[in-house]
Amino acid sequence: NAGVTQTPKFQVLKTGQSMTLQCAQDMNHEYMSWYRQDPGMGLRLIHYSVGAGITDQGEVPNGYNVSRSTTEDFPLRLLSAAPSQTSVYFCASSDDSYTEAFFGQGTRLTVV
Amino acid sequence: AQSVTQPDIHITVSEGASLELRCNYSYGATPYLFWYVQSPGQGLQLLLKYFSGDTLVQGIKGFEAEFKRSQSSFNLRKPSVHWSDAAEYFCAVGARTGKLIFGQGTTLQVKP
């Protein structure tokens, strides 16, 4: 059972580079979200989607873009990487507003 | 504003001892509450959840939590801790559209 798959697991970027973090789920979930995890701050919501073609900003959206062209995929784009974006990124999906969210294994991103 | 507070950043208990991790929330409507656990280098796994009904909920791995509306709390408990319980624990409240608002996390260390 694949669940929520994130790629890559690790990435090092130089300041100013762009990249896309991939997230795919095979559970036909409508709701998908991106979080970043930083020490002592828990997980903070970057962007979320309630279905294909619908996205919205979370708590910390600056510097990130998302799109949702299919139910399965929810990529996160860093337009111009900054050291402040060094973090662990988690993608999550759920089939309802208030049911369990399933998380991917995370992407550890370092911006130098 | 919606928020979750975990007052204890780090807790150390002896193996076999009881455990209580504290969680306080601020949410305008009826809260949907979750506890997640994260082992080092891993994603998040759901321990238990509260939506309605019985205020004492049972979860996996022998954990339970009690919802106390008067105290805005949802504390996690375990009668006897095992070394494998060492991890980081997150309390979260579920908002609309599949979003989760997380506390800062509590790191549990288990002494042999």
Give B36-68 pLDDT, tens digit per residue: 999 988 889 999 999 888 899 999 999 999 999
Q: Please state, as a whole number, how many other Cβ atoms lie within 10 Å of the Cβ of residue A59.
A: 13
Collect all residues from B whose CB is shorter than 8 A from any CB in A: 4, 6, 9, 32, 34, 36, 42-46, 49, 51, 90, 94-105
Place of tokens 């900054």: A82
Record: contact A98-B94, CB cut-off 8 A: yes
A5, closest residue in chain B (CA to CA): B43
Angle ∠(B25,B83,B36) on CA atoms, nearest 5: 25
Beta strands in B27-105 (DSSP E): 32-38, 44-50, 56-58, 64-68, 73-78, 87-94, 100-102
How would you classify residue B98: left for phi > 0, otherwise alpha for psi between -120 and 50, otherwise beta?
left
Record: contact A106-B105, CB cut-off 8 A: no
Q: How far is CA A22 from CA A15, A68, B13, B46, B109, in A?
A: 20, 11, 38, 23, 33
Q: Report chain A residues whose CB lies below 8 A from the CB of B4.
A: 42
Of B62, B56, B60, whose CA–CA distance to B33 is shortest?
Answer: B56
Interface test with B, best of A37, A43, A49, A108 (most B CBs within 10 A): A43
Tens-digit pLDDT profile for residues B67-110: 999 999 999 999 999 999 999 999 999 877 778 999 999 999 99
**Per-residue pLDDT for chain A (112 aa), expressed as one digit of tens each?**
679 999 999 999 999 999 999 999 999 999 999 999 998 889 999 999 999 999 999 999 999 999 999 999 999 999 999 999 999 999 999 987 667 899 999 999 999 9
DSSP string of A19-68?
Answer: EEEEEEESS--SEEEEEEE-TTS-EEEEEEEEETTEEEE-SS-TTEEE--
CA pair distance B82, B85, nearest whole angstrom: 5
The neighbouring-strand residues paired with A31 are A94
B48 and B34 Cβ atoms separated by less than 8 Å = yes
